Structures are given as structure tokens and as C-alpha cells.
Structure 1
């Protein structure tokens, strides 16, 4: 800095501490990562310190230096990409709870689009899902307060709360002329992300709603339970509206079906972020054909699974193009209990293709055009308005309850048939699996 003594005389201890932390961080950056010279970085830090000093001395009200510095950090990260953010200590704890599946809320994955809080995907079986929230819905208010310029973690805090309490979200959807208030009762978001059932004798359906710490274990258990009942002739792996989750769980789940080869690779700016995850071949060899269902709400970890099974020709992908979130976020804890969620790498499918802002293209594209699924409350059919990674501001560019076969009542059978009748994607998956068995041309898709 040009005049460190003069500057030090002006600044309070909290500001000096923050600048010292930043200076040490810059000094410890690996060669080539800092971008411009360290002297340029110090010069910009001096400008920041001067602005903070002026605000602290002259703003109409007294400010909290810690709040101001944290606000500056949040602004810096928000300028990077939609998935990088600063986590206060309580926010960090919330994130840790989420990956363990032990939180209460309404059950949606959210992001920011043009400064507006937007639904990426509702989680199946949650209050938000039952109330009809959809991908691309814009949340313009929460309990009457505008969400303009709200941070993601602030939104999460407002949407979460004790079980049984209500939150009113004001939703704007493509095709609507005004927003609508939807009252949602908070509940415990399902801990188990895996659900399985029989579609027909021999044809199993396993739905994964997100990737939590126990997802692969629960998935293996579901497969074993199904096989104890009868031999599986074909599996529908349903990843629709799965917003993602833990990378290691996506890798482990894919490993269940691959004997060898790359599952996913990641590439970042530093060596530690360049990793290759390969199949171990240690699990049982499942030979039955697989169809994976995806849609615009399938993102991140679910895209890793779909991409790997597709590239290895282990599964046929049916549905609509996925969200396209091909970036890796690393959670970096800080000394005061806070943390950084920072985008540190892109991930690549086994064939070396990045899906960032592109998504996974299904082998067979099938849309669910049933009026009951697309109909608005006023009865109008909206056009397909799909939110994907490429629609988010500052996105990173692309550089290259088990249901058994012996059901208790005809009512359950009727319900399943009604689901198949209105779900064209699931119907297509089942037909394809049955066709493979009938023709017997290949044991794998």
C-alpha cells in the first residue's frame, strides 16, 4: 500500500483485521492464481479500506464494521456466478444440516435469475411440491416482503422454520398476468431420498429426489429388497426434478452399475481440483437394462449420474434436456465458523464433455404434455418456460416406501395405472424396457 502508516491511523481494529486477513490470503495464493500482480491487489484493497473508512466516519448512521465487511464479501461472491456465496456461521450450520437431510422447510431448490428468486426444482413429496410449485416459478415475495436483491441464504432462512408453521410465497409464472399468493405449511423434508416400487411384475421404479449423505446406501437397500421379491427384468431410475446434492454420492451410486471406466472428472485452476473418479467394480454385477428419466429440473449430481450411464451405454436417457449445472462447489470453512461456498471446477462426463450451461440431451426426448400436469389454476395451458443453468446471470460458460408386487388393494393398482396414463415419460420408459426383453437383442441398453 502507498501509505500504510497514514492508512492505519485512520482505520479501526476490525477493519485492520479484515485487511490483514485479505493481505495474507493474497500473499498465500498459488503462483498464477492471483491473476494480476499482488501490488495491484494491494492497491485495490487500499481503495476498499478508504471507502470503508469514509462510510464509517460520514454515513448518516453509525455502521457495524463487521456487517459492512461481510456485505462487501457477499457482493464480491455474487459477482462471480450464481452458485458461489458467503455463509455466516448459522448459514454454514444450516447447509450442513441440509446435506444430512434433517431440516424443516417447504422443499425447493432455488437460485437467482435476473435478481429474482427463482425455483430450480421442487423436491418430490414436499409441501412446495404438493402446492404445485414448478421449475422456473419466480418468488417475488416471502410473507409480504419483496425478494428483490435478496441473497440465497437470506431466502433460505425465510423459507425454513419450525414444522407446522406457515409461510406465504408470492409466485409469478409464465402465462400469468399477476402474481399469486400460495400459503405453504412447513414440514420435515423427507430424510430418505430413495423411493421404490414395482410398475409391473419384473419392472422396478426407483425415484431419487436428491443426493444426501445416505442416498447410495438407501439405493442399494432398495435394490436388494426388490430383488428378494423377484428378479428385476428392467429398472426405471427416475431423476426428474432432482436438484443434485453431494458429488461423492452421485459417484458412488453410478458405481453400482459400472464395472470399469471413468464416472466423472473435474478440472479447476489449481491442481487439487483436477480429479478423476472411476468405477471400482466392487459391487454386484447388475445386468438388467436401465432407463433414466430426466427433465429440466434434473441438475448437478443427477446430471453426473445420467451423463456417466449414457456415455458408457449402460442406460437409455428419456425425458427433456437437463438443467445444465456442470460446476463443482467446494465448501471452505473459515475460522469464525462461517464458510465459503465457492465454484472451484467444472465437471466432465466420461467422454470429456462439459455440460455446463448445456445439460444432458436425452437419447429419446419425451415431454409430459398431459393437461392435468400443465394446467394453470385458471385452466390455461402455459407455454413451456424452462429455467436452466444458461439462463442464470453470471453463469460459467461451457468450454468444450417400497411398494410391493402383492398389493393390498385394487386401489393401489388403479392409482399406479392412473400415474402411468398421465406420465408419458414414465410410460415410455416402461415400454422401452419391455421392448428390450421381448426382442432380446441386447442385455444392456
Structure 2
């Protein structure tokens, strides 16, 4: 019998209730602080407004990766609520002000009202209405992480690393990721004007018609003896979709592929639970990734369980600057355990993860709560995953510096043999196939090393 089971019932009830009492006391004290500070700062708030500000701020104080005093956070939020301007029809002054305060704390934090919470759940389930583009903040600019395959954004020519400066004439400077995404989403069939700043080009406008975006989680095909797997993002159905895609290849009458390619290019991430499951699917053992919360101390380690769905076949992971977050968990875990060779260019470098806090009928708070690390303990954030073999596409302007040199060198993509059904200018996929067919990295690099 456990020690807890042996405790007197009265004491057990006290222990069970104590955390709830502490939480209620914290929220109550914060609520009183919100009401008092709102009065001092001349911010008219209803009881419902105070409840919302309290709910958000108490969770930020307790959980945010960045440590801030509650007084500073409350004052900043209240001032931004008081001074909020240009409030959209589907938002409130409190909503806009809270998000402005969250943006100062964390570029990935966002408060989502009930309607926006619904749209977020649709996206994570694989369906939403919009233009089909994933975005992030880089160098304080709203940046395209990647367009979704087959989406209006991809048809319009949006590219990773494009800066979105305006949406329907509204400047994006200073907006959070969530606020900018809300501007671009809308009913299918309606148009949205996007202003793009691309490197070495003048800003230009693109009109994009919104559509119902159905995000495929996984797909597969064969290139002769090589199995190709493509993941576009990590949603609730990604790992089951991957398993189905692998089974399709393994059970093919042509036989089990001699090697596999996992294509994570332009995959902006998603659910970390799915990233863990995907990496685990290719591994028998080993640490995949670890996390730390506020203060930097390791809080959790995620390791593989036995069972490799590819039966131990050689594996190459493709990545580029559009591979971010959960994609970097997978690439870093497979690379760090020697399970895969990573080929392509450096990944995006989003090494922080967000948690979702339900606020009842008030919606949801998304907040950065974790920083994650590769198996060797090194950070991914603002650094990315360096490829083992650097292969650039013809349109890339990747510059190799001393800090970003690949571990095994750079390959000349144009020297990799062309393959039927592979676009001639997809040097990375051509080289991944050549690497697997060469029988090993040394043999491949002997044939295709850049400058040789």
C-alpha cells in the first residue's frame, strides 16, 4: 500500500484541497490588484473585463518562460487597454490591449477570444479558412515561415522569409503572430491584400482569395527503390498519417524500399506531442528532446520506445529555412542519435514551445512556457538545426559562415543525378536519393562534394 493511501482521510483532504486554495488565493489577490490599478490608471472595466485580465495575467505570472513581476504586467496591460485604437469589429478594447501587452512579453503569446479559439482548433484539426500560410516573428518583422502546399498563398507565390508588411493596408509592425493571422483569415471566397517585402526587391502587393484550407498531414511515394515521406505540419492526425504512408510503401508489391527520405521542408511545426511520436517512429532508443521552463532547469526528457516503422532502413531528413519548431524537434532528435543524415540548409530556429490555457467562455491564452534542446543539450532557438550535408536550391542565397558550416561539408546539388518525376531544380531531393543509393555518406561526398 502506498504512503498516500495510508494517510488519515482528514489529512488527505487537506493536501488535496491546498493547491486549489493557493490558486484561488493567487487569482483573488491578482483580481483585487487589477481592480485597484484600473481605478488608479483611469481604465473603465466591467467585472467581466477584470475577470478576463485577471485570468490572463495570473497564468502569465505563473507560467511564462520570461519572468516578470505581476505589478509590471498588470500596469502594462491596463495602459494598453486604455490606449487601444483601431479596434476591429470582432474584437474588444480589452482583447486588443491584452494582446499588445502580451506581444511585448513574448512574440508568440496571444489571447484568443472564443471565436478565434474555435478557428485555432480548426487549424490544429487540419481545416481552417484563410490563405494558407504559416508566419513567425524574425528580427521584429512578420515573416513567412512557409506557405501550405496547394494553398492560395502558395499559388500567389509567397515564399519562406518573405516579410509581410501590411494586410489590407494595416501595418503589421508591432502586431503579434496571432493578431496578424486574424487579419489574414476570413470567410472563403473573400479577398485579402498582402504587401510583401522580399530581399533585394521593392515591396509589392498580392491579392489572395481565401479558401477552405485542408492541410494534408502526410503523403508518400516511391522513387524506384527509395521511399519518400512528406510531412507538411504536425496536427492531431500526423503520426497516424505517417504510419499509413509508411505501410503503403512497405506493403507495395515492389518490395520494402532500401532507404527512406523524410521531407520536412517548409514544415512550420505544430503539436510537439506529434513531433515526439514521429521521431519515435523511426527510433529504437535514445533521447529525442528535452525541455526547460523558467530559470533554465531541465524539466522533462522525451525518449524513444522500441519499434522502427522503417525496419532500420537508412534515413535522410530534408530541411530548409521553412522547417521550424516541431520539425526541428524531429530533425534534431534523429540527427542527434545518428538515426538520420540531415540534408538541405539550416532550419528556422524556433526553439520555444507554447502551452494553451483554457479561460472558460473567455477563450484561450497561448503562452511560451518551454525552451527545448537537442539530445546533446544544445539549444535550437535562433540557431536552428545545422544540416550534416549542405545542399542549396538554385534560388537559395544561403551564405555559409564559420558558425554555420555543415558537419560533413557542402555538396554540389547540380552534380546529383536527375531522377524521373523529380523536378530538375530540386537539388536537395535529387541529392537525398543519390546519397541513399551511394550506400553511405563517404561514397556520396567523394562524388558530389562542392568544389571537388
One fold, TM greater than 0.5?
A: yes
Which residue matches 2:239? 216
1 or 2 for the larger relative contact order (CA 8 Å, sep ≥6)? 1
Q: Could you tell me whether the CA contact under 8 Å between 1:122 and 1:129 is conserved in 2? A: yes
Q: Could you tell me whether the CA contact under 8 Å between 1:26 and 1:34 is conserved in 2? A: no
Which residue matches 1:195? 219
Q: Could you tell me whether the CA contact under 8 Å between 1:194 and 1:218 is conserved in 2? A: yes
Question: How many pairs align?
Answer: 390
Q: Could you tell me whether the CA contact under 8 Å between 1:8 and 1:16 is conserved in 2? A: no
Q: CA RMSD of the aligned region, Å?
A: 4.0
Partner SS, residue 260 of structure 1 = coil
Q: Could you tell me whether the CA contact under 8 Å between 1:213 and 1:246 is conserved in 2? A: yes
Deviations 1:19-61 (A, max 9, x none): 896399659966999968xxx7458857976x699x69xx999
Instruction: Say which is worse superposed, 282-291 or 303-312, in terms of deviation.
Output: 282-291
C-alpha separation in 1, matches of 2:391 and 2:272: 27
Which residue matches 1:14? 46
Structure 1 residues 8 and 161, CA, compared in 2 at 3 Å: closer, same or farther? closer
Partner SS, residue 347 of structure 2 = coil
Q: Given the two structures, how large is their TM-score scaled by the length of structure 2? A: 0.75
The structure 1 residue matched to 2:377, chosen from 340, 352, 356, is 352
The structure 2 residue matched to 1:436, chosen from 430, 435, 439, is 439
Structure 1 residues 239 and 30, CA, compared in 2 at 3 Å: closer, same or farther? closer
Instruction: Say which is worse superposed, 420-429 or 241-250, in terms of deviation.
Output: 420-429
Which residue matches 1:397? none
Q: Could you tell me whether the CA contact under 8 Å between 2:107 and 2:137 is conserved in 1? A: yes
Which residue matches 1:409? none
Deviations 1:282-321 (A, max 9, x none): 5646111000000111000110000010011010000001
- Which residues of 2 match residues 38-437 of structure 1 at below 5 A? 41-42=70-71, 45=74, 67-113=92-138, 116-176=141-201, 178-200=202-224, 202-229=225-252, 230-269=255-294, 274-282=299-307, 284=309, 286-369=311-394, 374=395, 383-384=397-398, 417=420, 419-436=422-439
C-alpha separation in 1, matches of 2:171 and 2:245: 43
Q: Could you tell me whether the CA contact under 8 Å between 1:273 and 1:344 is conserved in 2? A: no
C-alpha separation in 2, matches of 1:32 and 1:338: 18
C-alpha separation in 2, matches of 1:76 and 1:141: 21
Q: Could you tell me whether the CA contact under 8 Å between 1:264 and 1:278 is conserved in 2? A: yes
Partner SS, residue 158 of structure 2 = coil
C-alpha separation in 2, matches of 1:20 and 1:162: 28
C-alpha separation in 2, matches of 1:6 and 1:67: 17
Structure 1 residues 184 and 314, CA, compared in 2 at 3 Å: closer, same or farther? same
C-alpha separation in 1, matches of 2:337 and 2:331: 10
C-alpha separation in 1, matches of 2:56 and 2:208: 46
- Which residues of 2 match residues 30-45 of structure 1 at below 5 A? 41-42=70-71, 45=74
Deviations 1:413-433 (A, max 9, x none): xx9636342111111111110
Structure 1 residue 170 displacement after superposition: 2.1
Structure 1 residue 208 displacement after superposition: 0.7
Partner SS, residue 354 of structure 1 = coil
Deviations 1:197-256 (A, max 9, x none): 1122x1011111111110110110011111111211011110001000110110101111
Structure 1 residue 136 displacement after superposition: 1.5
Which residue matches 2:405? none
Q: Which sections of structure 2, spanning at least 5 residues, go unmatched? A: 1-32, 401-417, 445-452
Q: Could you tell me whether the CA contact under 8 Å between 2:49 and 2:94 is conserved in 1? A: no
Structure 1 residue 162 displacement after superposition: 3.1
C-alpha separation in 2, matches of 1:296 and 1:265: 22
Q: Could you tell me whether the CA contact under 8 Å between 1:318 and 1:365 is conserved in 2? A: yes
Structure 1 residue 14 displacement after superposition: 1.5
Q: Could you tell me whether the CA contact under 8 Å between 1:92 and 1:337 is conserved in 2? A: no
C-alpha separation in 2, matches of 1:431 and 1:95: 40
C-alpha separation in 2, matches of 1:191 and 1:138: 23
Structure 1 residue 80 displacement after superposition: 1.8
C-alpha separation in 1, matches of 2:233 and 2:85: 47
C-alpha separation in 2, matches of 1:223 and 1:126: 25
Instruction: Say which is worse superposed, 141-150 or 303-312, in terms of deviation.
Output: 141-150
